[in-house]
Amino acid sequence: MHTETQPIAAAAAFALAAARYWSAVWPLAACEIRRCHQLAAAIPDPRLRAAAQENLRDERGNLEGAAAYAVLAGRGHRRPLLEALVGFQAIYDYVDTLVEHPDHAEPTRARRLHQALADAVSPATPPTRDYYGTVHAPDGGYLTALVSRCRSAVALLPGHRAAEPVAGERVARMIAYQVHNHTEQTDRTALAAWGAAIAPPGSDLRWWESAAAAASSLAVFALLAHAARKDLTGAAASEIAEAYVPAGALHVLLDSLADRTADERTGDHSLVSHYRDQAETTARLTELATTARERALQLPAGATHATIIAAMGCYYLAAVDDAPRAAPAIAAALGPTARPSLLILRVRRALAHRSAPAR
């Protein structure tokens, strides 16, 4: 895998991804995010409306990050893919916010809300729609509208039938993680047992690392991106999902690292707090970055997957307060495209901070 041509392939993949992202994907993502804002503005309940609007504003970086996977698609399927990616992440961020409210922090309610994610990626199955467990949805149909738009977009992807079972299985893990994480406030025994049970056989993942992988949306994005190609098979979809385990673990552990100070203040569960100290955290995240990159490079369009994973890592490293200690080793392990990505994402963050503090 580490051939002489790799730096050239990496540079070419980065140049193509960056050009495509800023010229063709980012403008479409901005349109799609505006559409989500329009839907949120129509929520009748003022508290839910404010929560949805604030969530779209605060987590805009997540939506723009999800959109990065649209660089993998040709022009013909880019728009539906982008609608599916942004829609899916918007649903995830919204239900993640709702479930942090004590009203929803109960397993049946949390699971019911997160069912929106399962419906969003399975257009061949009738949707549940009963996300709040009430006759009339208190959000005036906001969540249902996001789900319907995502389903319609997924249905337009030629390989969606091959992707669906595997995507459904990954979404089931995301839901299980969210239910454990948000409804078991102090005792993490069940989450630890579950995390250990889902670690891929033969992997050296600790329970909180496999739990982090389960929580990540990256595998679903990668599956949707490959569903934009006609030749996707069920076996290839499974390989993509498995290859994304280290990248997913890195993703949600970096999210946890970026949130560490806030989590210490609020007493929220912090996945990185399970490491012994800062040195072990940096060492493990560096190992995960190395494996994530190696596994990504083995996939079809591997150099582009590796480029997106490096950008994802840098998206968080640009937001970590003690980045000078953790960033160099992790960024180096993410490969040669990490340096320019980190620069771009630091500039993006500084510009975002000039208008409003955002991740």
Ligand X SMILES: CC(C)=CCC/C(C)=C/CC/C(C)=C/CC/C(C)=C/CC/C(C)=C/CC/C(C)=C/CC/C(C)=C/COP(=O)(O)OP(=O)(O)O
Name which position in 62, 282, 286, 291 contacts ligand X (CB under 6 A).
62
Total residues interacting with ligand X, rule: CB under 6 A: 28
* DSSP code at position 200: P
Can you tell me the distance from the alpha carbon of 356 to that of 308, in angstroms, rounded to the nearest whole number? 26
Nearer to ligand X, 169 or 233 (CB): 169
Please pick, from the candidates 252, 289, 297, 327, the single residue that binds ligand X as defined by CB under 6 A.
252
Query: For residues 272 and 279, what is the distance between their CA atoms, to the nearest angstrom?
Result: 12
Candidate segments 15-23, 136-144, 222-230, 233-241, binder of ligand X by CB under 6 A: 15-23
Contact partners, residue 199, CB within 8 Å, separation at least 6: 205, 207, 209, 210
> Which residue, 161 or 188, is less far from ligand X as judged by CB?
188
Q: Is 208 in the site for ligand X (CB under 6 A)?
A: no
Q: Are 118 and 166 in contact (CB under 8 A)?
A: no
Looking at 225, 259, 274, 297, which residue binds ligand X (CB under 6 A)?
Answer: 259
Other C-beta atoms closer than 10 Å to the C-beta of 41 total: 11
Q: Does 179 bind ligand X (CB under 6 A)?
A: no
Answer yes or no whether residue 330 interacts with ligand X by CB under 6 A: no
Q: Is there binding between residue 163 and ligand X (CB under 6 A)?
A: no
- The 3-class SS string of 43-106 reads CCCHHHHHHHHHHHHHCHHHHHHHHHHHHHCCHHHHHHHHHHHHHHHHHHHHHHHHHCCHHHCC
What crossing angle do the helices spanning 75-99 and 60-67 adopt, rounded to 10°?
Answer: 150
The CB-of-312 to ligand X minimum distance in angstroms stands at: 4
Closest distance of CB 27 from ligand X, Å: 13
Our finding on whether 52 is near ligand X (CB under 6 A) is no
Using CB under 6 A as the criterion, what x/- string covers residues 210-249 for binding ligand X?
Answer: -----xxx--------------------------------
Least Cβ distance, residue 126 to ligand X (angstroms): 26
Cβ proximity to ligand X, 54 vs 233, nearer residue = 54
**Smallest separation, CB 237 to ligand X (Å):** 19
Taking the CA atoms of residue 303, residue 309, residue 314 and residue 317 in that order, the dihedral angle to the nearest 10 degrees is -150
Window 307 to 326, contacts with ligand X (CB under 6 A): 307-308, 311-312, 315
Residue 135 CB, shortest distance to ligand X, in Å, is 28
Considering the complex, state which of residue 216 and residue 291 has its C-beta at the smaller distance from ligand X: 216
Q: Which two tokens stand for residue 292?
A: 């994530």
How is residue 291 written in tokens?
A: 């494996």
Q: Is 202 helix (H, G, I), strand (E, B) or coil?
A: coil
Residue 115 as a binder of ligand X (CB under 6 A): the answer is no
Closest residue to ligand X: CB criterion: 65
Figure out which of the listed residues 89, 183, 281, 286 binds ligand X, where binding follows CB under 6 A. Answer: 89
Is residue 55 within the footprint of ligand X (CB under 6 A)? Answer: no
Indicate if the alpha-carbon torsion angle 305, 302, 75, 151 is positive or negative: negative
Nearest to 118 by CA among 147, 142, 86, 149: 147
| CB of 89 or CB of 281, closer to ligand X | 89
Rounded-to-integer distance, Cα 221 and Cα 202, Å: 25
71 binds ligand X (CB under 6 A): yes
Q: Does 301 bind ligand X (CB under 6 A)?
A: no
CB of 202 to ligand X, least distance (A): 25
Structural contact between residues 293 and 310, judged by C-beta atoms closer than 8 angstroms: yes
Work out the angle at residue 1's Cα, subtended by the Cα atoms of residues 162 and 213, and round it to the nearest 5 degrees. 50
- Residues in touch with ligand X (CB under 6 A): 17-18, 21, 62, 64-66, 68, 71, 89, 92-93, 96, 181, 215-217, 252, 255, 259, 307-308, 311-312, 315, 341, 344-345
